[in-house]
Amino acid sequence: MIKKIIVPDEEETAAAIEQGDELVEQVSLKVDPGQTSVRIDKFIHSFLGNNVSRTKIQNAADAGSIQVNGKPVKSSYKIRPGDDILLILPKHAENYDLVPENIPLDVVYEDDDVIVINKSPEIVVHPGLGNARGTLINAVLWHFQGLPKGKEEFRPGLVHRLDKGTSGLIVLAKTDYALTHLAKQFFDRTTKRKYVALVWGDLKEDEGTITVNIGRDTRERMQMEAYPEGDKGKHAVTHYKVIERLNYVTLVECKLETGRTHQIRVHMKYIGHTLFNDARYDGSRILKGTIYAKYKQFVANCFEIMPRQALHAATLGFVHPTTGKDMFFEAPLPKEFEMVLDKWRKYWSNPNAGMNEAEE
């Protein structure tokens, strides 16, 4: 069976790089002086055409995602000349014909409105050009085959993404209503997300905040770049805290205040602590440590155990779109992440013993 659904562009394309990690957008409208008074949902629908249904607009109003002159309004609000309208919606995406695929999923939580998944690092979240199969969306479509239908036909709704190579928690909406409500929370930065990362080097401070713009790298279109002068890119803020020091590498916790593409990876590289084995940002070579051959082999073994950037979305919190209940989830570090940490702990406590592991 083939379903046509709306999904974002491939995360490794230039379009996705521009969008950022959070698939939410805002639309600003100004009411003309000569405009007659009509319901705001009718006005927005007539302006945006078939891109947004009346139902989605009404859901947005219920979520507080339609604001007039800075204040939320109901869908029945009658517009007035000069009104400034702000509409917050899930980001528009391209159409793809998707085939459900029997790909295992680690489902952490599920109900009629949302599904929370602990994503494995090797899977891409969503399809795109040259990448229409083997994605998380394909897997989710298979997961819902044969299950009882709700009030609406199931369509996986994304409001945020995780890079390929990053493991951890991601939430998808199962209805347009839930999608719109979650989109508003991601837009308002009220979700609670923490990541765990292993980075090169020994950080000087136990905790800190990185406030540096992030934008497209002008030389490598598949990468992002830090712009400390603020003349390019978008505002980005990452808070970090040291969890464990292991001499040449450090385990840190990162909390996002914004949701830019590759934000943690770019910000940590900017302060001189590139993520361990992050090939895209030059972390897949020895950046700290000795010159001895056994140490080089030790690091190579670590890379082989965890052949991707050492980044894990460890916690996720949001308000349930229907019940209003606070939801909070935790995902333990994957086995390969823990194995690499154990190797570094052994090396840090007894370098000679750690070096001997390089020969295993």
Catalytic amino acids? 163
HEC per residue, the chain: CCEEEEECCCCCCHHHHHHCCECEEEEEEECCCCCCCCEHHHHHHHHHHHHCCHHHHHHHHHCCCEEECCEECCCCCECCCCCEEEEEEECCCEEEEECCCCCCCCEEEECCCEEEEEECCCCECCCECCECCCEHHHHHHHHCCCCCCCCCCCCCEECECCCCCCEEEEEEECCHHHHHHHHHHHHHCCCEEEEEEEEECCCCCCEEEEECEEEECCCCCCCEEEECCCCCCECCEEEEEEEEEECCEEEEEEEECCCCCCHHHHHHHHCCCCECCCHHHCCCCCCCCCCCHHHHHHHHHHHHHCCCCCEEEEEEEEECCCCCCEEEEECCCCHHHHHHHHHHHHHHHCHHHHHHHCCC
Burial of 290 (0-12, 13-18, 19+ CB in 10 A): middle
